[in-house]
Structure 1
Amino acid sequence: MIELAHVSRSFGSFRAVDDISFSIRTGEIVGLLGPNGAGKTTTMRMITGFLTPDEGTITIDGRDIREDERDSKRKIGYMPESAPLYGDMIVEDYLNYVASMQGVNAAERVPFLCRTCGLSEVMHKNIAELSRGYRQRVGLAHALMNDPEILILDEPTSGLDPNQIGEVRNLIKELGKTRTVIISTHILGEVEMLCGRVIIISHGKIAADSPTSELASRYMRSASVSVIAAAPSQKELIQEVEKLSGNGTAAAFDVPYAETLLNGKSGIYGVRVSVDADKEIRPDIAKNVSEKGWALYELSLQRNSLEDVFRTLTTGGEA
């Protein structure tokens, strides 16, 4: 288990991390989110022992990392956003070199990591010649060299193409079955796919700490209902939708296919209204539109996404 208790870190007069506390159980895959400069990378570097907290304690399996620095570091594999690789070395030589530096049996570990990280096709290529996707894989192999219990990944899919992103995500999922994984990323869809829990940091403080599946319901208060219908006027459709929503305010939006359906005549309108997240008004809208003899083309509910949660918690905007 990793545990941070009242941890702070400043750089000059700038307080990058401000009295944060959380714990991560063995076997969790946790997403660490926040805007640029929020304190994510500083937090990860303190967990690895690269930076020392000004205040507070960080323990791994109950032992303060400052009191048992070498043993704590042996339990951690860290891949920074831009993995520091030697471009003039071929991949196999580089991994053998890392193994020797860490006192690992290269003859056993390097072939295993070659298979695990999908490096078979590039083992005899110079690192400088590799695509960004393969360089990320080499960096991941480096982080896994000493078979760490904890894997910390800073923007692991940054700059990759869609195929490479899918491959790296699948690899992280597999690795997460046997170890604790902390992922820092700006790709919120990635967090939803990979992480069972999300910690959001804003201005050096924890803004949210929740299971990913519960984040929206815990922190969001609203959703939106979109209606596309043929009505006598947009004003009448807006009035009807607002009446059914309670205290919501409806807004019009353009319907691209309206003119096609009506052969150039106007009459198909789109209206979107905010509602309480737990309020369901779609059946009432469908019933009323039908009773008025209006044609209903679309009716949909859009619940707030993780992106909306992130924006609300890090900017103070309305959910």
Structure 2
Amino acid sequence: MSVIVKNLTKIYGTQIAVDDISFTANEGEILGFLGPNGAGKSTTMKIATGFISATSGQVEVAGFDVNDQSLESRRNIGYLPEHNPLYLEMYVNEFLEFSGKVYGMPSKELKEKIREVIDKCGLTVEQNKKISALSKGYRQRVGLAQALLHDPKVLILDEPTTGLDPNQILEIRKLIKEISKDKTLIFSTHIMQEVQALCDRVIIINKGKIIADKTLKELSTESGNKTYRIEFSEEIDASVLSSISGVSNVELNGSCQYKIETTSDKDIRSQIFKIASENDLPLVGLQEEAGSLEEVFHTLTGQN
């Protein structure tokens, strides 16, 4: 396991920002860290990277305690904060060389790694430009290049696509997917499509506590209701479907296709087959849909 968090707590005055949480992030895994604003995501990430200390609890990165073995743990971490801290007056190459020297990388190794991360992060054309002249998307690429420069085992990215346009978001997602193949990656985001596109597992934190730690498939059952897509060979009287116990809404959703929403997680497929048979309805298709991640998030966090 690359990251182990045990009974982590952080208190600011009378406010409990992180409340006795525990989880692990495994090697080769992309772990999505979700929660409303102020839930404790960034605080947890800052503690894991050694930027701030915990009130109590323990974090291990690649087998090193972030408090007792701070330098060893940091050597194994690549970190991209929410607000990407770059020296805008520096050129891309210059900034990466400076960062590598801060890491204490030997000159020969550093030159090779700079070439490698520039290529991997798609910065070849931009490498001789000042960072101040780059778009936000390319600045994010520079931040990722810096985080990757020392070849860390763990990458921690705090909302890496915030403020980017749709094209830039897709580019950064693709890059994250590529670089995660041989690393452990934890990232926070408010974009649910991003979670669905990238994550192997999701942790949801709310008011400092973990309220879910599941795979995407497992989370899809947390919304508390079910939705079905039904197709007939001809249009029918939708009121027949509305009479099924637990059905809250039926709507025509294309030619001879209907969407059924329920008020619980009870499986009503057998009832649908039964009522179709009893009423001689020409049923040709029935599919259960998973609840959307947005619905699950709202249900678990109580956000309206």
| TM-score (ref. length: structure 1) | 0.83
Q: State which drifts further: 306-315 or 97-106.
A: 97-106
Q: Give the match for residue 264 of structure 1.
A: none
Aligned partner of residue 222 in structure 1, secondary structure:
coil
Alpha-carbon distance in 1 for matches of 2:206, 2:279: 44
Judged with a 3 Å threshold, the aligned counterparts in structure 2 of structure 1 residues 2 and 299 are, in CA distance, closer, same or farther, namely closer
Alpha-carbon distance in 2 for matches of 1:121, 1:316: 43
Q: Give the match for residue 118 of structure 2.
A: 114
- State the AA in 1 paired with 2:147: A
Alpha-carbon distance in 1 for matches of 2:157, 2:199: 12
- Give 1:61 deviation, angstroms: 3.6
Match status 1:73 vs 2:74: yes
- Flag as ranges the 4+ runs of structure 1 deviating above 4 A: 226-231, 268-271, 284-291, 296-301
Alpha-carbon distance in 1 for matches of 2:123, 2:149: 14
- Give 1:203 deviation, angstroms: 0.6
Q: Give the match for residue 87 of structure 2.
A: 86
The counterpart of 2:206, out of the listed 202, 212, 216, is 202
Alpha-carbon distance in 1 for matches of 2:102, 2:64: 25
1:116-138 alpha-carbon deviations (Å, 9 max, x no partner): 10000111112111111111100
1:149-183 alpha-carbon deviations (Å, 9 max, x no partner): 10001111222222222221121112111111001
Alpha-carbon distance in 2 for matches of 1:136, 1:213: 30
**Structure 1: runs of 5+ lacking an equivalent:** 262-267
Match status 1:215 vs 2:219: yes
Matches for 1:117-196 after TM superposition, within 5 Å: 117-196=121-200
Alpha-carbon distance in 2 for matches of 1:80, 1:5: 22
Is the 1:220–1:309 Cα contact (8 Å) retained in structure 2?
yes
Judged with a 3 Å threshold, the aligned counterparts in structure 2 of structure 1 residues 307 and 72 are, in CA distance, closer, same or farther, namely same
Alpha-carbon distance in 1 for matches of 2:266, 2:197: 23
Aligned partner of residue 104 in structure 2, secondary structure:
coil
Judged with a 3 Å threshold, the aligned counterparts in structure 2 of structure 1 residues 286 and 127 are, in CA distance, closer, same or farther, namely farther
Q: Give the match for residue 265 of structure 1.
A: none
Aligned partner of residue 189 in structure 1, secondary structure:
helix
Q: Give the match for residue 10 of structure 2.
A: 9
Alpha-carbon distance in 2 for matches of 1:250, 1:186: 29
The counterpart of 1:306, out of the listed 293, 296, 300, is 293
- Give 1:297 deviation, angstroms: 11
Is the 1:196–1:213 Cα contact (8 Å) retained in structure 2?
no
The counterpart of 2:267, out of the listed 271, 278, 289, is 278
- State the AA in 1 paired with 2:241: V
- State the AA in 2 paired with 1:168: I
The counterpart of 2:248, out of the listed 236, 250, 254, is 250
| TM-score (ref. length: structure 2) | 0.87
Is the 2:242–2:249 Cα contact (8 Å) retained in structure 1?
no
Alpha-carbon distance in 2 for matches of 1:301, 1:256: 15
Alpha-carbon distance in 2 for matches of 1:207, 1:88: 43
Aligned partner of residue 148 in structure 1, secondary structure:
coil
- Give 1:227 deviation, angstroms: 6.4
**Structure 2: runs of 5+ lacking an equivalent:** none
Alpha-carbon distance in 2 for matches of 1:112, 1:101: 18
- Give 1:284 deviation, angstroms: 4.4
Is the 1:250–1:271 Cα contact (8 Å) retained in structure 2?
no
Identity of aligned residues (%): 41
- State the AA in 1 paired with 2:104: G
After superposition, the CA RMSD in angstroms is 2.7
Judged with a 3 Å threshold, the aligned counterparts in structure 2 of structure 1 residues 82 and 290 are, in CA distance, closer, same or farther, namely farther
Q: Which has the larger radius of gyration?
A: 1
Judged with a 3 Å threshold, the aligned counterparts in structure 2 of structure 1 residues 223 and 269 are, in CA distance, closer, same or farther, namely closer
